[in-house]
Structure 1
Amino acid sequence: MNKLLLTLINKSMKLKREVNILDFMCNSNKSHQQHSCCPADNSSIECLKVLSVICSKRVQKVAEARLDLLDLGIPAGTDPDLLTFDVTADPNNIVMRGTLLEGKVVNSGYVPVSVIISVAGVALPAVSLNLPFQAETECPGACPGDDLQETRPIIEGVLEPVFTPVISIGDALTLGTLTFKVIIRTQITVSREKLVEASVKVIGDINEDRCVTDQITTPTSQTRTFFG
């Protein structure tokens, strides 16, 4: 019994060494050296090189910019109650970059928007803005040499510009800012190449938004001031 057990252990260790060095032939027949992933008869089986998923996460990103009223062409001392805005985001020209670090994905980019500001009903020249964003997503086990994939960004919301008074002298506003925000989402997937021989089960689509054509491009929800 001990001799049989020792023989089985030796065969197992030998097989393990063969697997670790990845020196084998698959989809083979009797005329070639057999491996654990190859059948003993003339039929064949595929050993596959696959991308094994390390993490896959849906991520929201906030693209925003805060600009002085003067930079937007709004005269100093303008009553903010006289301002109205027409903001349109461009979902087709979003720039998004991804950097894969150890255990983390760093995203950066910008969302283009077009803004028309009216003062007391008089429209100022249109302004084109690029709202920058940066987001960090934890992905334990990821390495810089892995494969990084991101789906097409989807715009979840375009917020109304928020006015912030900065400097007032007496009752006259001399400096204020407007903050523009757009919320986008994307699916981040980090994977790694591996050799497998196994049956698989589909657990989901990596891009659930692949059929989305219409996106939110203008503010659709009212922003309320609760205090102040």
Structure 2
Amino acid sequence: MTLVSFLTGAGISTDSGIPDYRGPNGVWRKDPDAEKLVTYGYYMNDPEIRRRAWQVRRRAVTLTAEPNAAHRAIAELDRSGASVRVITQNVDGLHQLAGTPTRKVLELHGSARQFMCTECDTRGPMAEALARLDAGEDDPPCLVCGGILKSTTVMFGENLDPLVLGEAVEVTKASEVFFAVGSSLQVHPAAGLAGLAAEHGARLVAVNAEPTPYDDVADEVVREPIGTAVPRLLRELADA
């Protein structure tokens, strides 16, 4: 059975109301200082950065966003019996909410839906930590050891989980069709998966609003809106 894999970036979730990072209206372009809030060194060493980061989490639409047509189309392809794997740079959990089984989704950059302690690795639902903010705490410490809490997302300055990355590499090498959707393909090592797929003979389809460094090696480059492009491409794939 043909293995169809997807590398998805922030662009696939913009239709769900979650802003991307490097696009024309991206978070980093609007507020370059915002990058400090997700940089491990700043976060761990500056209580004010942590307080600001918690307020951003509290206001973020990530935990209330709903999957859009692109997420649903991928889940529908999986339900049709196709062999599907998703490698995502996103931390929003929308692929799983759309119906793609958790075991088929590799979250390279972790999840905003869970918190973790940086000392003892205690973990739990982000909603529990945010409830403590509502109760008056501005930088809630770990209830087990008193350590610093953060989301389970991979911050700048942290390494990706080597097991997750290793599995992503194996999936990429085995893919016969590889869609890079909504990713600038500039953040490594995730970005390199597109080139790796092409090197191993996959048909590479790049779907992104702006040019990417891998457009030259892609078999097809699609610039139309992701919410309409992905459902169309997957219908064509199913009918082929």
Q: What's the TM-score, normalizing by structure 2? A: 0.17
Structure possessing the higher radius of gyration over alpha carbons: 1
Write 1 or 2 for the structure with the bigger share of strand. Answer: 1
Write 1 or 2 for the structure with the bigger share of helix. Answer: 2
